[in-house]
Amino acid sequence: MLATFDISNTRIKAGIFDGPELRATFSLAADVRRTADEYAVLLDGLLREERIQRRDVHGIAIASVVPPLTGIFEQVCGRLFRQQALVVGHSTRAGIRIATQQPRELGADRIVNAIAVQHLHGSPAIVVDFETATAFDVVAADGSYAGTIIAPGLALAAEALFQHTSRLQRVELVKPKNVVGRDTIGALLSGTVFGHVALVEGLVSRIKAELGSPAIVVATGELASLVAGETSAIDRVEPWLAHVGLRLFYELNRG
């Protein structure tokens, strides 16, 4: 079995592969104040619930954009699985040509998304990743990573409205009933959700125009289904795309 960890600023998503099959998934809050011991206890409990034996895990791959948590999870993996984790970016092969001006600046999450989408759907392709930020990963027709767009995430935008206004309230992100809000909650939901849909549609259209060819558009991340259900600009939803990329990354680097 292979354990994969996709560490973002807000969530730690863990996956357990049994061969090519993603057997189990877990989601933890990302908190740099937690120790490796605390995370190990949490993860051990989740593995027990899925009846997964720690000794059956013989490989670990980590993609992280939070350096303090990278080190913590390397310790967690050493303690739980007695294995050294393979970390994206630590003198490893990406498996994809990065055609940006500053390849070293590219986040590990961007790399594994690109690896996975090319494997699953070919190229050219656009991955829209709905996490803390909404990021657009662009894979060119020749399979190279062409570049990215980073916009404020859907939940982040909603929280910013709540934090920086005196009368607007925090809302649960669900599909709005109407485009034109009939009350404050309706108005906030429409502006936040449908506004984000419009952002995605507009940027996808501009990316395709710049590529000069059609491209498959794949959504991933926690809020992917919410946005994908409101637009025809997204062709597929792959909630655990990064973990597929991590499995392929591990296989490339460990043979």
CATH number at residue 179: 3.30.420.40
Q: What is the pLDDT of residues 236-251, one digit of tens each?
A: 999 999 999 999 999 9
| Whether residue 80 is found in the same domain as residue 133 | no
**Residue 164 CB burial class (10 angstroms; 0-12, 13-18, ≥19):** exposed
**149-200 pLDDT tens trace:** 999 988 887 777 777 676 666 677 778 888 997 888 888 888 889 999 999 9
Q: Are residues 70 and 34 in the same domain?
A: yes
Sign of CA dihedral 196, 200, 205, 209: positive
Q: Where are the beta strands (DSSP E) in 82-238?
A: 86-87, 125-130, 133-139, 145-152, 216-221, 236-237
User: Do you find a cis peptide bond into 103, omega within 30 degrees of 0?
Assistant: no
Cβ neighbours of residue 198 closer than 8 Å, sequence gap 6 or more: none
Same domain, 69 and 194: no
Q: Does 18 fall in a domain?
A: yes
Residue 57 belongs to domain spanning: 2-87
Q: Are residues 73 and 138 in the same domain?
A: no
d(CA 14, CA 24): 8
190 and 73 in one domain?
Answer: no
- Co-location of 124 and 211 in the same domain: yes
CA distance 7 to 31: 10
Q: Domain count of the chain?
A: 2
Write out pLDDT tens, residues 80-122.
999 899 999 867 788 889 998 888 888 899 999 999 999 999 9
Region 43-61: mean pLDDT is: 94
Is there a domain that residue 254 lies in? Answer: no
> Where among 58, 87, 116 does a domain terminate?
87
DSSP, collapsed to helix, strand or coil, labels residue 18 as strand
List, by residue number, the catalytic residues.
109
Are 55 and 151 found together in one domain? Answer: no
153 plus 82 within the same structural domain = no
Q: Are residues 182 and 234 in the same domain?
A: yes
Query: What's the angle, vertex CA 168, arms to CA 163 and CA 173, rounded to 5?
Result: 85
Cα–Cα distance, 94 to 74 (Å, whole number): 19
Residues 156 and 68 in one domain: no
**Residue 249 maps to a domain:** no
Q: Could you tell me if 96 and 42 are in contact, meaning their C-beta atoms sit under 8 angstroms apart?
A: no
Q: Are 177 and 130 in contact (CB under 8 A)?
A: no
What percent of the chain is helix, strand and coil (3-state, nearest 5)?
Answer: 40, 25, 35
Question: Quick one: 233 and 108 in the same domain?
Answer: yes
pTM of this prediction? 0.89
Interatomic CA distance for residues 197 and 190, integer angstroms: 10
CB count within 10 Å of CB 104 equals: 7
